Amino acid sequence: MKQLAFDFVAPARPTLDNFIVGRNAEVLERLNGLAALTGGERFVYLWAPPASGRTHLLRGTLAGLERGGSRVTYVDADEALLGVDAGAIDAAAVDDVDRLGGSAQVALFNLYNVLRENGGTLLAAGNAPPSGLTLRADVVTRLAWGLVYEVHALSDAEKAHALSEHAAALGFGLQPEAISYLLTHTRRDMRTLIATVEALDRYSLEAKRPVTLGLLRELLAFQRS
């Protein structure tokens, strides 16, 4: 059980292949092309509320680029952006740009210019479209120059379907009441929900008990203890 508790906080590494598409087919297709270096626009801005999947898309695209040999870096919106050597990377992803302070905004501006000049790639994400960001005008302008996509969070029905399908792929059925319990008693982002379903599968096998709502409650109680 100690290992299971650890697994709750270590979901699978985000890739474009394990992103649950929902209403985001167009942006996923575009990012797959970018990750495969098939040409086209190399600067993409994603906007959506937190826990919508935008971070998954950033990290998943970088993972694809890295597999192809690109030097990549991911930066959450903090002063770490100041330490990025734009000349030493081929692609960068900057998350939560709406939280960038003044010096970090200057660093993003410079990063954008260097990557564009060097033929690199820049992905960025925030909680609003470029026109809704309270950032420097020159930073907003550059974020809007590339492709801009809204990332649509999954509805509860889409999440329920995805969880049911994932459980079936693991070889067990997840009852509707168990799915409903998951959606109301755990974090609602899909990485956490999927990780919980996978932990439930392992716990069921270890305990030699079928997956039921009771078993799920027991596992979540252990997680909170």
- pLDDT tens-digit map of 61-89: 999 999 999 999 999 877 788 889 999 99
150, 184, 201 — which closes off a domain? 150
For residue 93, the model assigns a pLDDT of 97
Which residue range is the domain that position 138 belongs to? Answer: 25-150
Q: Is residue 145 domain-shared with residue 35, that is, in the same domain?
A: yes
Answer yes or no: is 16 within a domain.
no
Biggest alpha carbon–alpha carbon distance for the chain: 60
Q: Which two tokens stand for residue 108?
A: 């993003």
Whether 41 and 92 map to the same domain: the answer is: yes
**Amino acid letter at 173?**
G
Which CATH number goes with the domain that contains 116?
A: 3.40.50.300
How many domains is the chain partitioned into structurally?
2
pLDDT of residue 80: 82
H helices present in 50-175, as ranges: 54-67, 102-118, 137-145, 156-170
Q: Are 220 and 185 in contact (CB under 8 A)?
A: yes
Return the number of other C-beta atoms located less than 10 Å from residue 134's C-beta.
Answer: 8
Amino acid sitting at position 193: L
| pLDDT higher than 80, residue 12 | no
Residue 14 within any structural domain of the chain: no
Higher pLDDT, 50 or 71: 71
Q: How far apart are CA 129 and CA 117, in angstroms?
A: 24
pTM over 0.75: yes
Residue 190 lies in a domain: yes
- Between 36-40, 44-48, 59-63, 85-89, the lowest mean confidence (pLDDT) is in 36-40
The yes-or-no verdict on residue 115 having pLDDT over 60 is yes
Q: Are 135 and 129 in contact (CB under 8 A)?
A: no
Give the mean model confidence (pLDDT) for residues 108-135.
96
